[in-house]
Amino acid sequence: MPRKLIKRFMPKPEKIRAQKSLGFMAAHMGNPSLWALTRNSVSGAFSVGLFIAFIPMPMQMLVAAVLAGFFRVNLPISVGLVWVSNPITMPPLFYACYRLGAWLLSWPISPHSSEGTLDWVLTHFNQIWPPLLLGCLLVGTFLAVTSNIAVRLFWRWQVSNSWNKRQYQRSLPPTEKKTCEKNLWEED
């Protein structure tokens, strides 16, 4: 089941609350809904995290944490998925979003420097921000909706698969249950 896999990698709420560096936010992080591993909270966390990952702004993790609290979705997953756009992946992701936005707005693509420096971005920011923002919003929204649906479908498939295994095991005669149980759980 996905819950077991996710729980293995999630930090414990008690550890987070004990962090003195979080200050006043530590009390708000004790809300159980922010740590719940349900289909709704995990799929919502994927939506929040991936949408914010594609918004070009500073402090994406903080915004994802605030939105996770507002929508009552899983906090660690929301914040962790923001790292899809990390310093290594950010330039190609945002450039692809810029190209998409420029194509949709029928704007000419600004010639870029071969160096790809921050200075070039800052000097041409007035020309590139409308298509960049449009592309980022579209890609972020698409990924948020798609990931939400995909997580819900995967979760449902896993629960259904687990249910079918248990039903099959219950239908066996008692003599075959022990060997079948060993084989069924070795597949997981």
Identify the domain containing residue 7 by its residue range: 2-187
Per residue in 21-67, pLDDT (tens digit) is 555 565 566 676 787 888 899 999 999 999 999 999 988 988 998 89
End-to-end CA distance of the chain: 9
Per-residue pLDDT, 162: 84
Per-residue pLDDT, 148: 96
Q: Work out the angle between the directed axes of helices 90-105 and 125-171 (0-180°, nearest 10).
A: 110
Per-residue pLDDT, 35: 79
The answer to whether the CB of 134 falls within 8 A of the CB of 54 is no
Per-residue pLDDT, 30: 64
Q: Report the number of distinct structural domains present in the chain.
A: 1
pTM over 0.85? The answer is: no
Per-residue pLDDT, 23: 56
- Pairwise CA distance, residues 104 & 97, whole Å: 11
- The ranges of the chain with pLDDT < 70 are 1-30, 32, 111-118, 120, 175-188
- Pairwise CA distance, residues 95 & 134, whole Å: 12
Per-residue pLDDT, 1: 46
Per-residue pLDDT, 44: 94
